[in-house]
Protein backbone atom coordinates (compact mmCIF):
# COMPACT_ATOMS: atom_id res chain seq x y z
CA UNK A 1 0.00 0.00 0.00
CA UNK A 2 1.39 3.39 -0.99
CA UNK A 3 1.84 5.85 1.88
CA UNK A 4 -0.24 9.02 1.47
CA UNK A 5 0.27 12.40 3.09
CA UNK A 6 -1.79 13.14 6.21
CA UNK A 7 -3.11 9.58 6.63
CA UNK A 8 -2.55 7.11 9.44
CA UNK A 9 0.09 4.77 8.14
CA UNK A 10 1.40 2.77 11.10
CA UNK A 11 0.70 2.12 14.76
CA UNK A 12 3.32 1.39 17.36
CA UNK A 13 2.86 -0.29 20.74
CA UNK A 14 5.14 -0.70 23.75
CA UNK A 15 5.95 -4.18 25.08
CA UNK A 16 7.89 -5.55 28.03
CA UNK A 17 8.78 -8.88 26.37
CA UNK A 18 8.96 -8.93 22.57
CA UNK A 19 9.04 -12.70 22.24
CA UNK A 20 5.96 -13.09 24.44
CA UNK A 21 4.01 -10.34 22.65
CA UNK A 22 4.95 -11.85 19.29
CA UNK A 23 3.77 -15.29 20.39
CA UNK A 24 0.50 -13.84 21.73
CA UNK A 25 -0.48 -11.99 18.52
CA UNK A 26 0.74 -14.78 16.24
CA UNK A 27 -1.23 -17.43 18.13
CA UNK A 28 -4.31 -15.27 18.67
CA UNK A 29 -4.65 -13.41 15.37
CA UNK A 30 -2.08 -15.00 13.01
CA UNK A 31 -0.09 -11.78 12.60
CA UNK A 32 3.37 -12.07 11.03
CA UNK A 33 6.54 -10.38 12.30
CA UNK A 34 9.94 -9.04 11.28
CA UNK A 35 12.58 -8.59 13.99
CA UNK A 36 14.71 -5.43 13.97
CA UNK A 37 17.29 -6.16 16.62
CA UNK A 38 16.57 -6.78 20.28
CA UNK A 39 14.31 -3.77 20.86
CA UNK A 40 11.84 -3.69 17.94
CA UNK A 41 9.58 -5.97 15.94
CA UNK A 42 7.27 -4.98 13.10
CA UNK A 43 3.96 -6.72 12.43
CA UNK A 44 1.75 -7.18 9.39
CA UNK A 45 -1.39 -9.11 8.42
CA UNK A 46 -3.31 -7.12 11.04
CA UNK A 47 -5.23 -4.69 8.82
CA UNK A 48 -2.74 -1.89 9.55
CA UNK A 49 1.02 -2.33 9.75
CA UNK A 50 2.76 -1.55 13.00
CA UNK A 51 5.35 -2.56 15.50
CA UNK A 52 6.25 -3.23 19.11
CA UNK A 53 9.04 -1.35 20.85
CA UNK A 54 10.65 -2.91 23.92
CA UNK A 55 10.42 -0.83 27.08
CA UNK A 56 11.31 -1.30 30.71
CA UNK A 57 9.08 1.63 31.74
CA UNK A 58 5.53 1.32 33.01
CA UNK A 59 3.15 1.21 30.07
CA UNK A 60 0.35 3.74 30.58
CA UNK A 61 -0.81 4.35 27.02
CA UNK A 62 1.13 1.94 24.86
CA UNK A 63 -0.11 2.98 21.41
CA UNK A 64 1.56 5.52 19.13
CA UNK A 65 -0.35 6.44 15.97
CA UNK A 66 2.05 7.25 13.13
CA UNK A 67 0.97 9.41 10.19
CA UNK A 68 2.85 9.80 6.91
CA UNK A 69 3.99 12.99 5.17
CA UNK A 70 6.53 13.25 2.34
CA UNK A 71 7.94 16.57 3.71
CA UNK A 72 8.64 16.33 7.45
CA UNK A 73 9.87 19.90 7.81
CA UNK A 74 6.77 21.48 6.25
CA UNK A 75 4.28 19.37 8.22
CA UNK A 76 6.27 19.96 11.43
CA UNK A 77 6.01 23.75 10.91
CA UNK A 78 2.28 23.46 10.19
CA UNK A 79 1.67 21.39 13.35
CA UNK A 80 3.43 24.02 15.48
CA UNK A 81 1.61 26.89 13.72
CA UNK A 82 -1.81 25.41 14.55
CA UNK A 83 -1.06 24.69 18.21
CA UNK A 84 0.79 21.37 18.33
CA UNK A 85 3.89 20.79 20.44
CA UNK A 86 6.94 18.90 19.18
CA UNK A 87 7.88 16.33 21.82
CA UNK A 88 10.72 14.60 19.93
CA UNK A 89 12.49 16.31 17.06
CA UNK A 90 13.20 14.58 13.75
CA UNK A 91 15.34 11.46 14.10
CA UNK A 92 16.40 8.64 11.78
CA UNK A 93 15.37 4.99 12.05
CA UNK A 94 15.72 2.02 9.66
CA UNK A 95 13.52 2.98 6.73
CA UNK A 96 13.25 6.74 7.22
CA UNK A 97 12.91 9.62 9.65
CA UNK A 98 10.17 10.81 12.00
CA UNK A 99 9.22 13.19 14.80
CA UNK A 100 6.67 13.09 17.62
CA UNK A 101 4.16 15.77 18.62
CA UNK A 102 1.28 16.40 20.99
CA UNK A 103 -2.05 17.73 19.79
CA UNK A 104 -3.86 20.44 21.82
CA UNK A 105 -5.50 17.75 23.99
CA UNK A 106 -2.17 16.11 24.85
CA UNK A 107 -2.41 13.06 22.57
CA UNK A 108 1.04 12.07 21.29
CA UNK A 109 1.38 11.02 17.66
CA UNK A 110 4.24 10.78 15.17
CA UNK A 111 4.83 11.67 11.53
CA UNK A 112 7.29 9.75 9.36
CA UNK A 113 8.80 9.92 5.87
CA UNK A 114 11.18 7.69 3.99
CA UNK A 115 13.24 10.81 3.19
- pLDDT tens digits, residue range 49-68? 999 999 999 998 889 999 99
CA angle 13, 69, 100 (to 5 degrees): 45
Q: What is the CATH number of domain 69-115?
A: 3.10.180.10
Residues of the chain within CATH 3.10.180.10 domain(s) are 1-66, 69-115
Is the pTM value of this prediction over 0.85?
no
> What does the pLDDT read at residue 18?
96
Instruction: Identify the segments of the chain with pLDDT beneath 50.
Output: none
Distance CA 20, CA 32 (A): 14
Distance CA 65, CA 43 (A): 14
> What does the pLDDT read at residue 2?
84
> What does the pLDDT read at residue 105?
84
Q: What's the fold here for domain 1-66?
A: 2,3-Dihydroxybiphenyl 1,2-Dioxygenase; domain 1 (3.10.180)
> What does the pLDDT read at residue 1?
67
Amino acid sequence: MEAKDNQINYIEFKAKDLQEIKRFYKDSFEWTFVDYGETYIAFSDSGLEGGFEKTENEIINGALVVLYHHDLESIKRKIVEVGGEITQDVFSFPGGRRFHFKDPSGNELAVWSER
